[in-house]
Amino acid sequence: MESMHYALIPAAGSGSRMGGSLPKQYLSLAGRPMIYHAIHTFFTHTRIARVYVVLSAGDSHWDAFDWSAFERKLVVLRCGGDTRAQSVSQGLQMMAAEVGGQDWVLVHDAARPGLDQMLLDKLLNALAHDPVGGLLAVPVADTLKRADADQRVLATEPREGLWQAQTPQMFRHARLLEALLKAGEQMTDEASAIEKLGLRPRLVESGSRNFKVTYPQDLELVRLALESRHG
């Protein structure tokens, strides 16, 4: 039987670096909450069977928005933890009743609204028969400096072979859950947990528009990217 594809969007964080009281996944972007754009990309892709969003149990913002357009595929899981790894692993456990161990799960950042259908297709096609799975990423273009405690340059790091990880990160459900449970709660991405199993995820080259909104100034950049895509 052919493996299915499911999206999992952890959205239990507060986004403190953005400032303000509203978690960044709910900040307005092109007239919608930011997370809407990530959900929309997965929802409209024919190969994504369902979109799971992991919220904190005390999330009081989600219900203020209209999600009815996504009703056919969207499942909300109020089981988010204090860390990304907790939210993803607890989401995977709650998905297990409906998702097979060999099905693919694409974990994506709620604050990465620039993902488009072309990039999603590229990832799905590249990993369709991969024994491990992998992630979207971009080769590092800038010179990297390592700083000391006084924020002075300690060393210049060679950038050859270095990539900046993005999302989605796509792995088999059972293997990803095993990896996260073994790796602990401090993993900042799913690929790191898979690497701890001794496996080597595949890097699939992404684009600059699929960046993560982290600071207030990033909002204007992603607005321009969305306008360019739809305009």
Q: How confident is the model at residue 150 (pLDDT cuts 50, 70, 90)?
A: very high
pLDDT value of residue 227: 64
> Per residue in 172-231, pLDDT tens?
999 999 999 999 877 889 999 999 999 999 999 998 889 999 888 787 777 776 766 654
pLDDT value of residue 15: 56
pLDDT value of residue 184: 82
Residue 57 pLDDT exceeds 90:
yes
pLDDT value of residue 219: 79
> Per residue in 77-125, pLDDT tens?
999 999 999 999 999 999 999 999 999 999 999 999 999 999 999 999 9
Share above pLDDT 70 across residues of the chain, in percent, rounded to a whole number: 94
pLDDT value of residue 20: 60
Please state the domain extents for the chain: 5-230
pLDDT value of residue 215: 81
**Topology annotation, domain 5-230:** Spore Coat Polysaccharide Biosynthesis Protein SpsA; Chain A (3.90.550)
> Per residue in 152-174, pLDDT tens?
999 999 999 999 999 999 999 99
Query: How many beta carbons lie within 10 A of that of residue 100, not counting itself?
Result: 14
pLDDT value of residue 78: 97
The per-residue pLDDT of the chain, averaged, comes to 92
Lowest mean pLDDT among 6-20, 36-50, 83-97, 209-223: 6-20
